[in-house]
Structure 1
Amino acid sequence: MDGLRKDAARNRARIVEAAGDLAARGEPLAFNTVARIAGVGVGTVYRHFTAIEELEEALVWERFDDLDRILRDTGPAELERVLTAHFTLLTEDALFEKVTERPEPALEQTVTKRTALIGRLSELMGRAREHGDLRADIDAQGVLLLVCGLAHAARSAGVAADSPEARILLRVAFDGLRVP
């Protein structure tokens, strides 16, 4: 991380790695547990992250970056592919969904990443509208709410992102986004 001493950067990386391991196992994040696993004092964790929400957000920045890369390399005819990828990330990563649905992110970098994601999706949707592939009465924020809701419902029901049930849910949503 820019501006950190080498030892501080190393500690931060260990903290993020430990928290990522806990999150991957579906265990709750707690600073004391993260500190113990990372081999640092809890004060060190607090120096890097003042609240658990900050740590959660740092853990999912890569997901935002993944979506950004997909959006950058996508044409208007591929909106379904983008939304399917987003649905999959949200379904497979409960922490990403939790951060995505958070009304007010804890970190400015999360705000920046989310704003960029919405902006790129808006651009893609605009191009899809120009091609006549997308209805005009929904914006990027609305589409993201729809995808988040579907992903939450699928995960809550134990429906895998790549299952026939998930494909049907997505198909109904995509059909609803098309020009009538």
Structure 2
Amino acid sequence: MDGLRRDAARNRARILDAARDLAAQDVPLALNAVARAADVGVGTVYRHFATADELEETLVWEQLDALAEILRHAEPAQLEHVLTAHFTLLVEDAVFERVTARARPVLDRTATTRTALVGRLANLLERARTQGAVRADVDAAGVLLLMCGLAHAVRSAEVAADSVPARALLRVVLDGLRAP
């Protein structure tokens, strides 16, 4: 951890590990619960994360970075792959879904990354649109709304992202994005 003492870096790692474990069990990430799970004082958690929102955003930075890497090299023919990867992350990770759906990120890094991701998606959509593969009346923000809405519905129905019903619904959305 940049700029952290060794013990502080160790505590931060314990907090993040405990938060990941709780999130995997669908336990809400209340900072008191995270402190208990990490076996640190609640004050220690608050020194690293002022709010649960900050903790949640920090937990999904790796997923955001992975999505950025996919988008960085994506060609228009890979749009389906990009959207499927995003959909899968949204369905499989409730914290990622919450952070993605959040109107305004609380951490600068999250805001910057998210803005860059939307920009890359917009660029990819424009290149696909130029090739006649994507309809002209849907922008990146609209596509993200569709993915978030679909993922939320699938998650709420407790259906796996790779299940036949989830893939059929995703196919409807992907087919709907195609140019007429």
Structure 1 window deviating more from structure 2 (146-155 vs 159-168): it is: 159-168
Q: CA deviation at 1:37?
A: 2.0
Normalised to the residue count of structure 1, the TM-score between the two structures is 0.96
User: What is the Cα deviation at residue 164 of structure 1?
Assistant: 1.4
Q: Which letter does structure 2 place at the counterpart of 1:136?
A: A
TM-score, normalised with respect to structure 2: 0.96
The yes-or-no answer on 1:25 pairing with 2:39 is no
AA in 2 matched with 1:81: H
Alpha-carbon distance in structure 1 between the residues aligned to 2:29 and 2:148: 22
Q: Match for residue 84 of structure 2?
A: 84
Structure 1 runs not aligned, ≥5 long: none
Q: CA RMSD in A?
A: 1.0
Identical residues among aligned pairs (%): 68
Which residue identity lines up with residue 154 of structure 1 in the other structure? V
Structure 2 unpaired stretches of 5+: none
> Partner of 1:154 in structure 2?
154
The alpha-carbon deviation at position 7 of structure 1 amounts to 1.6
Q: What is the distance in 1 between the residues matched to 2:99 and 2:168?
A: 26
Q: Which residue of 2 aligns with 1:110?
A: 110
C-alpha displacement at 1:99, in angstroms? 0.7
Deviation at 1:61, TM superposition (A): 1.0
> 1:76 corresponds to which letter in structure 2?
P
4+ aligned runs moved over 6 Å, structure 1:
none
Spell out the pairing of 1:1-180 with structure 2 (5 A cutoff).
1-180=1-180
Q: Deviations over 1:112-152 (max 9, x none)?
A: 11111101111111111111101111111110110000000
**Distance in 2, Cα, partners of 1:65 & 1:143:** 19
Question: Per-residue displacement from partner, 1:32-54 (whole Å, max 9, x unpaired)?
Answer: 22112222211111011011110
